[in-house]
Amino acid sequence: VLDVGPVEPAIVGGNGGSHGVLNINGGTMNVRGWALFVGNNTDAHGEVNMSAGTLNLDNGNAGDQTDLLLGRFGRGTFKQSGGVVNQNGWFVVGVDPTGIGNYEMSGGNLNVGNQGFIVGRKSSTVEASGLFKMSGSALVTVSAGDIIVGGEGEGTPGKGTMRIENGTLRAVEVPATSA
């Protein structure tokens, strides 16, 4: 088990000109900070390759969230062929000016909850772009928030593409509860 956090974000490919790679081939990684950034700066490239194991993006505080942001100003790539990703904040592929995000999923499970699932988020001045591709035995469950392809945010529309070649996408409405 690898625990990252609880305050600062985890970053793969953080500085301009950098190329960071995270390979998850088994075990458990818990990101408890406020986000996992992959490709976090202009001219930065971050890459996550996951074939097995579990990646939990959850800070453990009720009402808080841990976001997964691919291509935040830079280029972010996530290739999932197996394993389980549990994520409880914003799931965004392609975010902020000049961001390019790419999530390719050929197997495993992706569970998104709490906020929403966005591919190609709007930005204030320059568009971001995102691609989410499902194939093989991939299973995606979005249990809260909207599924948005190309949009959300302020200003210039984002460019989003969602390509489902095989696999299953489930959108589950979570009813509001009161105390």
Cα 15 to the chain's mean position, in Å? 19
Confidence of residue 177 (pLDDT cuts 50, 70, 90): very low
C-alpha to C-alpha distances, 139 to 21, 61, 84, 112, 169, nearest whole angstrom: 24, 26, 10, 11, 6
Q: Compute the average pLDDT of residues 44-52.
A: 97
Q: Looking at residue 98, what DSSP letter applies?
A: T
Q: Compute the average pLDDT of residues 162-170.
A: 94
Which residues are CB-neighbours of 62 under 8 A, at least 6 positions away? none
Cα 125 to the chain's mean position, in Å? 22
Would you say residue 101 has pLDDT above 90?
yes
| pLDDT of res. 148 | 84
Would you say residue 85 has pLDDT above 60?
yes
pTM: 0.89
| pLDDT of res. 115 | 82
